[in-house]
Structure 1
């Protein structure tokens, strides 16, 4: 695990949060339950949060040239622990740490100031663009977000963001740096500058009925690598396991991205999709373009409705109509998804090709904080080089709980 001054600052924030919580408990404190105990004293709140995902993955890889193989693995996909809370009506914080795949990293590390109910100023390590990207994996329909988020590299980075929202819209803009978990480019004998960028996102829900909802959104991002390594554009096969067979290699000096998003919900049925394009500036004044999109649909057989958090522009926790804790059988959701990512405009390397895949999914929710998932993906990696195509079939299962 790489350690820098930002990590130390994050650790200090976590210690401060614990100290504040201890002080709150020493006073007249009330306790409520939201997946885990939440302590409150006037406007001071404190809650421990976390999640655990345990996966089994079966994968079969069919190479056009070279040896085929298959793999079976049981793995801890995610074990995350954190704290969140408020100091008063205006100040809030969140700090999360994850252990997964043999490594440990910071996730959300956020300090938020809200001068009004509709204005938020946030600083820290977090995500800013794309509906599925900023939605918690606790609530996304499939086990993994797919190559759309992978190839665009729109994960958590350090941001200072200003966000406004109304009853059915949001608008946000941010200045961004690099991820907390990456090496510090200034920690060298010659110094240096980290990645610098700007981004923004707007969403609107023109239809916001009890049983029918329509969400539309758009976002844009520009970034420059400065003195850090070139950007790489690559995608896995709708799984966090295994190799990436579609990749450009480290070629990007700067890039400009634009994305569109749409969600339609009608009772237990929903359709979701996103599209994005990126213009990539490379060395020697060479430019290339990539495109990526996905579309998915889901059906709650048991009658539930997906929870669209309109004021945040992301998924929220689904309300289970008949959880097992109340004598019911829980909720059953069936889903299908198609993904496509096109890197063929990059004339090198041989692996800069096109990815396409179909995924079938089933989710059982015995309780709002517990979910069992099954995904089957059949994907094609059509690479530029003759004889370099790779077909992959992946069957995955997950047991997850959060608090």
Structure 2
């Protein structure tokens, strides 16, 4: 299996880098420099090492109202995410990251990657990581809403073993590569899924007050001997059941697919807007084809005057810089957001639950100081099935306390 070879290679290279940094420290004994970047970063000569991680504590309350059957309610407090890892550099050309999710007595790799950057805007990267979609590439530490929404569920662009190359400039990038399956998927023999992708972005306007982002991407996949691809969405939360779902039968599961997407975002001082659209063309396991579409639009406003931080070279959003954190006697930052989501799976004929999904989400976030956020989201979702008696409406209220380092 290719991803096992890539995994072994990546881990071996990371180990060699660490050993090389340690060896250098022993041979020439450079002074250790410690700086604070959310956690202590240690530097020995040209080698740096920093622990990293994140923890999200959630409370979720959900009401489910089906067209047939009784209404139900559920509520749960839970540990949504806990990750621990390391990151660093070796000279100005090599960087590494290794981070795992921890919970329920087990651990799975998230980001595990090695990057070679021969110049400022070029890079070759290998490992387990994400590669597509503006919101998908924006870390959950920085997204306006607690969850990325059904758009992200449908395109299924999570972390997989990938080899990519990137070129670009101060306000544009072009990245392409090939990928296999996730490093965490067990080997079952045969050939794992294989795919290829490309993403491009351009920021035509980048000033202190105004940023404009435009992007496009595409991906092709073949499941080969892996499980068939699933096309389904959640209710703007990873809590509870999915009700808009093409299923796993031959009528709704994919052998191969091609996915393409468009990105747009704008920032004007303390106001921002963002949206994406994607289409999926699937070759079904039982023969024939089906298409799915999804999009979202959102707006964000900081009454305290902050601005979403945009990286014009990478085409991604990052950590908000708080103007007056509470540690300096200020109120921290407040962000208000509204979002509309839509997904259409009705082309999967014969699957009752492969219908249309739509939802409105409102949210508020308080940033008391860097690396800490408190979020509240409310979503009102409609799952309109191909058979009206299978329609389901879902209302979800969520709260989160999070910190990262």
TM-score normalised to structure 1 length: 0.94
Contact 1:77–1:101 (8 Å) recurs in 2: no
* 3-state SS of paired residue (2:389): coil
Q: 1:36 to 1:16 in 2, by over 3 A?
A: farther
CA displacement at 1:284 relative to structure 2: 4.2
Match of 1:339 in 2: 341
Match of 2:351 in 1: 349
Contact 2:17–2:90 (8 Å) recurs in 1: no
Match of 2:234 in 1: 236
Which aligned pairs between 1:356-375 and structure 2 lie closer than 5 A? Answer: 356-375=358-377
CA displacement at 1:285 relative to structure 2: 3.2
* 3-state SS of paired residue (2:390): coil
CA displacement at 1:325 relative to structure 2: 1.1
* 3-state SS of paired residue (1:150): helix
CA distance in 2 between partners of 1:374 and 1:255 (Å): 36
Which aligned pairs between 1:205-354 and structure 2 lie closer than 5 A? Answer: 205-250=203-248, 251-354=253-356
CA displacement at 1:25 relative to structure 2: 6.4
* Further displaced range: 96-105 or 391-400: 96-105
Q: 1:80 to 1:25 in 2, by over 3 A?
A: farther
CA distance in 1 between partners of 2:10 and 2:78 (Å): 27
Contact 1:4–1:183 (8 Å) recurs in 2: no
Contact 2:344–2:355 (8 Å) recurs in 1: yes
Which aligned pairs between 1:152-171 and structure 2 lie closer than 5 A? Answer: 152-171=155-174
CA distance in 1 between partners of 2:324 and 2:266 (Å): 24
**Structure 2 residues not aligned, in runs of 5+:** none
TM-score normalised to structure 2 length: 0.94
CA displacement at 1:368 relative to structure 2: 1.5
Which aligned pairs between 1:2-13 and structure 2 lie closer than 5 A? Answer: none
RMSD: 1.8
Question: Which residue among 27, 38, 42 is the counterpart of 2:41?
Answer: 38
**Structure 1 residues not aligned, in runs of 5+:** 187-191
Contact 1:246–1:383 (8 Å) recurs in 2: yes
Question: Which residue among 163, 175, 187 is the counterpart of 2:178?
Answer: 175
1:96 paired to 2:99: yes
CA displacement at 1:375 relative to structure 2: 0.1
Contact 1:76–1:101 (8 Å) recurs in 2: no
CA displacement at 1:18 relative to structure 2: 5.7
Match of 1:189 in 2: none
Query: How many residues matched?
Result: 396
Match of 1:125 in 2: 128
Deviations 1:115-174 (A, max 9, x none): 112210000100101000011000010000000011111111111000112011011001
CA displacement at 1:295 relative to structure 2: 0.2
CA distance in 1 between partners of 2:68 and 2:18 (Å): 55
CA distance in 2 between partners of 1:111 and 1:104 (Å): 20
Q: 1:312 to 1:393 in 2, by over 3 A?
A: same
Deviations 1:82-135 (A, max 9, x none): 111111121111101012577532101101111112210000100101000011
Deviations 1:329-387 (A, max 9, x none): 10000000000000000013211111000000000000111000000000000111230
Match of 1:116 in 2: 119
Match of 2:90 in 1: 87
Q: 1:399 to 1:265 in 2, by over 3 A?
A: same
* 3-state SS of paired residue (1:249): coil
Contact 1:10–1:95 (8 Å) recurs in 2: no
* Further displaced range: 11-20 or 346-355: 11-20
* Further displaced range: 94-103 or 82-91: 94-103
Contact 2:93–2:116 (8 Å) recurs in 1: yes
CA displacement at 1:17 relative to structure 2: 6.1
1:52 paired to 2:55: yes
